[in-house]
A and B are shown apart, each in its own frame.
Chain A
């Protein structure tokens, strides 16, 4: 029986590598998540945020992916080392996933109501009628207009926002304890995105499900998250409560990412960017992976900095943090050069 004091999900030292690649694409990722909590994993393409989510769901094809290390304890079981049959029992029941593009993740040949009902029948052993009633109830809960009619429609007959709602309905049909959403609103228009975010927040409050949300949009993070993990090139570089991340950012990558975003205030000149690009997987540095783009980098960054605690659960992987201390000697160093 799961221990009530334990967190709902505890991921320790998750590392994933592809084929014969010399470096890990997800490298030593550790996360904890309590019931009802929302964790946003934020980062740019290739940072490993989606791989992390897929690995937790057991949806990563292995091979070519290889699990190098890690445990993911969820309700007393290790998701990463579970027999496939057991995993299938958990997936869609205790935990569920929402994907970015509902058009490609809903079955185009099956009616929407039937797809939702299938999840209920599979996990609850419900009868046909019971499952259909549950599907209808779910469509109402995600506020799809004319739900009775929509039950018998195919995904292509719905708009993008509606399909995403149907997807959420399917994911929540069995009251999962954990919901993983990978860029759930990225494909949607901004007004529809606002509706779907509001909906997800409301449903989560009702059901007390924990949510891991993968996103690249810091605006979405500020709106949804309790906790944030910032990933860069496969590693978590900074993590902590959402307020700490936005109001007291410590890692140069987090700061660079925030300053790269155009401000919503009156125009304030050029954007302060992060120079260069993410190093390719076959040229990943041994030490801090951000060092090649970091304006604060020095010789000691050739060694990987640990994720150290800065108080209140705010953890940062940077030798220079807090930057105020680092900036002074660095500037004299720069002047001497």
Chain B
């Protein structure tokens, strides 16, 4: 049934968490992910965007079964991985790898960097000890670190470098799909750019499919081929990245785009922020979940829950009024720079290229500072 270009698929995927169990009566549940149908194509970068509490991280974890779904299926390689036993799942884990947001808490502080990167290889019984050592050295240089860093511990590295270690570790088992939960959002802008470039290079080099969870729309605009927008446990819109940004079809997508602070003076229309906070997922509003904040809501939206339905090739939206509404995309002039800035930017790029040519190792961090000696 699944077409050949689909690598990972979810069907009516749901996950509930019990938040409170009263002595009497039914336990109080939060429906973190509430019926997601998603198809990821082989070789694409798919981004899932949404605000805190929308269930995007829970969804990401279910895709690699770090969390078991309550209902529904996750299909990888024609197998429903949510039904697999421990052993079978373990065999598949090398194909599906995860990068965590926080490079500070996702690496075991008591293991050396070499051991951390080697661990997945050992777990999957790949190679001899010597082969693994060579592979670790190779991975370290692939992610812009140095082979001699294998003997150091995570705390000796900066945030950006730790994220590189996390990426090397995820790559160790030669995955087919790499899932990043906010992989760059804890990093400073200049470091973030280095890691974004690294992920894109590695994707190309290893033929990966990339799934990126993010709240930063600029990063998504840059990295993604397709985007899924989540609100309160549901997908409200899916489409190609250019379409999503130029012609959003769901009012929530429009609100998200209108809220991006644009790094050009006077670019964003001020005072058009959508009202209210994201509602409590424990008691989602009836009907369309966005209706209390939606400027276009009508009676029907308060009662009837819209379903995600295809509207064009590769585009789906869950909005009753999507046909009649004409929504605004990114403001004119949000992209691009003033002429003088553009000129400087080109000078900078040229100088970077020259200095990189002169010092080929320039892309990697400088020789590691002697650590508090």
Contacts and interface: CB of A to CB of B under 8 A. Distances in A.
Interface of A: 44-45, 159-162, 189-195, 197-198, 201, 216-223, 242-243, 246-250, 252, 255-267, 270-277, 279-280, 282-283, 292, 295-296, 323-324, 327, 330-331, 334, 337
Interface in B177-210: 188-194, 196-197, 200-201
B164 to A, nearest CB: 11
Nearest to B275: A195
Contacts of B327: none
B221 A334 contact: no
B236 to A, nearest CB: 13
A191 B336 contact: no
B78 interface: no
20 contacts: A160-B277, A194-B273, A195-B274, A217-B261, A222-B266, A246-B263, A249-B341, A252-B351, A258-B263, A261-B193, A262-B222, A263-B335, A263-B336, A267-B221, A270-B197, A271-B222, A275-B356, A277-B365, A295-B348, A334-B354
A222 B349 contact: no
Nearest to A158: B277
Given A191-B274, A257-B189, A262-B222, A219 B261 contact: yes
B344 A255 contact: yes
Contacts of B261: 193-194, 197, 217, 219-220, 222-223
A260 B2 CA distance: 39
B129 interface: no
Nearest to B194: A273
A195 B273 contact: yes
B358 A264 contact: no
Contact of A247 (B197, B340, B362): B340
A161 to B, nearest CB: 5
Interface stretch (B93-101, B212-220, B303-311): B212-220
Interface in B220-250: 221-223, 241-242, 245
B218 to A, nearest CB: 4
A156 to B, nearest CB: 14
Nearest to B144: A275
Nearest to B274: A191
Nearest to A326: B347
A198 B265 contact: no
Contact of B348 (A191, A216, A248, A259): A259
B338 A246 contact: yes
Main secondary structure of the interface of A (DSSP, over half): helix
A190 B313 CA distance: 29
Nearest to A46: B188
Interface string B144-169: 00000000000000101100000000
Contacts of B160: 277
Nearest to B190: A274
A67 B354 CA distance: 41
Interface in B255-314: 255-256, 258-268, 270-271, 273-275, 277-278
Given A191-B273, A257-B189, A262-B196, A219 B262 contact: yes
B83 interface: no
Contact of B197 (A248, A249, A273): A273
B349 A44 contact: no
A270 B200 contact: yes
Contact of B265 (A161, A216, A222, A262): A222
Most buried by B among A161, A246, A292, A331: A246
A337 to B, nearest CB: 6
Contacts of A194: 258-259, 261, 273-274
Nearest to B246: A266
Nearest to B348: A255
Given A190-B217, A295-B352, A337-B358, A323 B273 contact: no
Nearest to B158: A277
A221 B366 CA distance: 30
Nearest to B361: A275
Contacts of B191: 44, 277
Contacts of A292: 366
B51 interface: yes
B334 interface: yes
Given A222-B261, A264-B335, A296 B341 contact: no
